[in-house]
A and B are shown apart, each in its own frame.
Chain A
Amino acid sequence: QQQVKQSPQSLIVQKGGISIINCAYENTAFDYFPWYQQFPGKGPALLIAIRPDVSEKKEGRFTISFNKSAKQFSLHIMDSQPGDSATYFCAASNPGGGADGLTFGKGTHLIIQP
Chain B
Amino acid sequence: DAGITQSPRYKITETGRQVTLMCHQTWSHSYMFWYRQDLGHGLRLIYYSAAADITDKGEVPDGYVVSRSKTENFPLTLESATRSQTSVYFCASSFTGVTGNTIYFGEGSWLTVV
Which listed segment binds A: B14-22, B76-84, B103-111? B103-111
Q: How far is the CA of A6 from the CA of B43 in the complex (A)?
A: 13
CB contacts under 8 Å to A, within B41-64, are 41-45, 48-50, 56, 58-59
Interface flag for B74 (CB, 8 Å): no
Chain A interface size, under 10 / 10 to 19 / 20 to 34 / 35 or more = 20 to 34
CB < 8 Å neighbour of A46 from B4, B31, B42, B103? B103
Look across to chain A and name the residue whose beta carbon is closest to the beta carbon of B58.
Answer: A100
Contact B99 A43, beta carbon cutoff 8 Å = no
Contact A99 B50, beta carbon cutoff 8 Å = yes
Chain B interface size, under 10 / 10 to 19 / 20 to 34 / 35 or more = 20 to 34
Contact B106 A93, beta carbon cutoff 8 Å = no
Query: Which of A31, A42, A45, A99 has the most C-beta atoms of chain B within 10 angstroms of its own C-beta?
Result: A99
Contact A102 B103, beta carbon cutoff 8 Å = yes
Q: How far is the CA of A105 from the CA of B49 in the complex (A)?
A: 22
B-contacting residues of A (Cβ < 8 Å)?
6, 31-32, 34, 41-46, 49, 51, 89, 93-95, 97-102, 104-107
Q: Which 4 A-B pairs have the closest CB atoms?
A: A43-B105, A106-B42, A102-B98, A104-B43
